[in-house]
Amino acid sequence: MVLRKFLTSVLLATSTSAGKLVLHETRSTAPSGFVSHGPAPPGDLLTLRVALTSNHVAGLEEKLTLLATPGSPEFRQWLSMAEAPFVKPSPKTVSAFRTFTSRNNLTSTVISPNEDWVSISLPVSRANQLFGAQFELFSHPSLANNLTRTLSVSLPSELVGHVDVIHPTTAFHYPKTRRLRPVKSDRQLEKRAGSGSPPGSCNTSIPSNVMTPACLQALYGIPTAPATQPNNTILVTGYVSQWPETIDLAVFLETFRPDIPANTTFTLVTLDNGTDPQTPTAGGIEADLDVEYTIGKSPSVQIFRFLSVGGSKFGSGFMMDILDTTTYLDSLADADLPTVMTTSYEETETAFGISLATKICNNYMALGSRGMSIMFSSGDAGVRGDDGICTDNTFTPLFPASCPWATAIGSTIGFGPEIAVNFTGGGFSNFFPSPSYQTTQVAGFLETLPMEFEGIFNSTGRGYPDVAVQGWQFSIVVDETVFPESGTSLSTPTFAGIIALINDQLIAAGKPVLGFLNPFLYSNPTAFTDITIGYNQGGFCPVTAPAFNATAGWDPLTGSGTPLFAELLATALA
């Protein structure tokens, strides 16, 4: 009822401005769990971020395809910061927005190094009027504060073609409460063993197998020698008040990598009041395991940076956090730009909305063209987003895993044979079409599907993940105690560590780093073990029903398969 009333007033607002407002983005309802408390107080001040249209995204896409495709004359000739001007708005766009702000007595502030994001502050009543919106207050049982959001946002016609996103408007962030600290009493905890050999050998019996750095080295042929090159920075991102404990990392290295100094650590970078207080038991499982399996795979004192983004703590949410992460990366000088970024957090495409997701994805395209390999986990709820909620029979893709300019990592289990694990996230984007580097492989997979799968996912969308790595029962250290943890969150830092080790050898050989990976990965299927057994969950409600099967060739559970280090290195160096 309430919703219908607001919808009518939106339509009225639009029609009274006589064709001046053009609908930009809309959603029929707030995501499940959110409850409206009616219109936001008209005097409340909103700070909105506005994305000005980049001058040449099509040119960037063309360029990156040339840079990243093996055999191209420009292969891996990554661009410097100065050579990558595609993202900046054109003078015409800047002037159109300036005319709009001055005509409406608004002050805008440029907030990104590419000048493609600006910020404006205005009362709710003005925002409703200027953008054909109806801001409401929405609560969620797990959010401390109401969100001020609108179900619909329009652009004054003079801004159409000049503005891509106004945020926050129709994007909703969910509370993130993942990976709570272990409750010691109901977990099988293995007391700190002190230094020495890793507990247990590589145990191959599913589901009791336990994964350690040594097992991963043996399984994928990953060398144990530390990286040597100082300019090879890996960035591990941390959100939702997650930070790693240095003591946990030390215990992890002492236990599982006795060959490298236990004082090997990371450099902390903070954004938006992010912290890493290091008080006992204050850290987070997600951050601990991300750090342990990145550093445990590619140890070197110089190369490791942990980014703690604090925004979520202040209610701005995951979307703002990853937006601020891209802005931070855009601002880095070429020599300071990480070569690898690994992120084990994601959200549904619908929570982001298409305009914001597209803008962020295009920013990954720009960073890929500067030589970054950007990795995201593919989610832990099969084809049902990241929480496994099953409200209807359509699959729920996750972003940024679904961005074609990022590399998405799924999970496997077992050694002989290695199979897809049932929670591994995967599927097809509703926002991004299948990019050329994967169209043949995806078409091959779609042919294997039975009829009843028609219409429950988007068969023209970008398919993910791209690759997979073990993700079951990794030995991690939290509160100085070893315990098992599973998820694509473990697979992603492991793959990032592998890519960083290959980059190390490329740099040592005087060659450019791997940069945007996907065209290289898809054109080298022999560098992967094809995973052909297993299925993931969420096919039909209830969510434990099987969805996709692993098949010969690419599939949306394990991508092209799991890496064979020696083959991947040889093709990278070729």
Ligand X SMILES: *[C@@H]1O[C@H](CO)[C@@H](O)[C@H](O)[C@H]1NC(C)=O
Q: Which residues bind ligand X (CB under 6 A)?
A: 37, 104-105, 137, 139, 145-146, 203, 205-208, 210, 231, 261, 263, 272-273, 301, 311, 314, 335-336, 413, 422, 430, 433, 448-450, 453, 458, 460-461, 544, 548-549
What is the smallest separation between the CB atom of 302 and ligand X, expressed in angstroms? 10
Q: Which of 312, 306, 234 has the alpha carbon at shortest distance from 273? A: 312
Q: Which tokens go with 262?
A: 């236990």
Rounded to whole angstroms, what are the CA distances from 418 to 140, 204, 279, 477? 40, 10, 39, 25
Q: Report how far residue 145's alpha carbon sits from residue 35's, in angstroms, rounded to the nearest whole number.
A: 12
Rounded to whole angstroms, what are the CA distances from 549 to 222, 256, 534, 544? 28, 34, 6, 14
Q: Which of 498, 507, 508 has the alpha carbon at shortest distance from 298? A: 498
Q: Report how far residue 361's alpha carbon sits from residue 402's, in angstroms, rounded to the nearest whole number.
A: 9
Provide the 10 A C-beta neighbour count for residue 32.
10
Q: Report how far residue 399's alpha carbon sits from residue 345's, in angstroms, rounded to the nearest whole number.
A: 9
Q: Which of 359, 367, 338 has the alpha carbon at shortest distance from 68? A: 367
- Catalytic member of 116, 245, 248, 290: 290
Locate all alpha helices (DSSP H) within 86-223, ordered by sequence: 91-103, 124-130, 213-220
In the residue annotation, 489 being an active-site residue is answered as yes
Are 199 and 482 in contact, with CB atoms under 8 Å apart?
yes
Which residue lies nearer to ligand X by CB, 62 or 336? 336
In the residue annotation, 308 being an active-site residue is answered as no
392 annotated to a ligand binding site: no
Which residue lies nearer to ligand X by CB, 107 or 273? 273
Q: Report how far residue 216's alpha carbon sits from residue 441's, in angstroms, rounded to the nearest whole number.
A: 27
Which neighbouring-strand residues pair with 118?
50, 110
Q: Which tokens go with 273?
A: 């009041």
Which residue lies nearer to ligand X by CB, 393 or 448? 448
Are 189 and 182 in contact, with CB atoms under 8 Å apart?
yes
Residue 462: strand, helix, or coil: strand
What is the smallest separation between the CB atom of 505 and ligand X, expressed in angstroms? 14
Which residue lies nearer to ligand X by CB, 311 or 379? 311
What is the smallest separation between the CB atom of 113 and ligand X, expressed in angstroms? 17
What is the smallest separation between the CB atom of 261 and ligand X, expressed in angstroms? 5
Which residue lies nearer to ligand X by CB, 8 or 263? 263
- Catalytic member of 25, 116, 286, 288: 286
In the residue annotation, 290 being an active-site residue is answered as yes
**Is the previous residue joined to 113 through a cis bond, with omega within 30 degrees of 0?**
no
What is the smallest separation between the CB atom of 49 and ligand X, expressed in angstroms? 12
Q: Find all residues with CB under 8 Å of 453, minimum gap 6, and list them.
A: none
Q: Which tokens go with 444?
A: 């091959």
555 annotated to a ligand binding site: yes
Provide the 10 A C-beta neighbour count for residue 231.
14
Q: What is the DSSP letter of 190?
A: B
Which residue lies nearer to ligand X by CB, 55 or 325? 325
Which residue lies nearer to ligand X by CB, 152 or 551? 551
What is the smallest separation between the CB atom of 567 and ligand X, expressed in angstroms? 26
164 annotated to a ligand binding site: no
Q: Report how far residue 498's alpha carbon sits from residue 521's, in angstroms, rounded to the nearest whole number.
A: 13
466 annotated to a ligand binding site: no
In which residue are the tokens 């930070």 written?
243
- Which H, E and C letters describe 368-403, residue by residue? HHCCCEEEEECCCCCCECCCCCCCCCCCECEECCCC
Which residue lies nearer to ligand X by CB, 145 or 195? 145
Question: Across the chain, which distance is largest between two alpha carbons, in Å?
Answer: 75
Which residue lies nearer to ligand X by CB, 203 or 241? 203
What is the smallest separation between the CB atom of 104 and ligand X, expressed in angstroms? 5
What is the smallest separation between the CB atom of 265 and ligand X, expressed in angstroms? 6
Measured between its terminal Cα atoms, the distance across the chain in Å is 64
What is the smallest separation between the CB atom of 463 and ligand X, expressed in angstroms? 10
Residue 310: strand, helix, or coil: coil
Residue 135: strand, helix, or coil: coil
Active-site residues, by number, are 286, 290, 489
Numbered residues of the known binding site:
530-531, 553, 555
Numbered residues of the known binding site for Ca(2+):
530-531, 553, 555
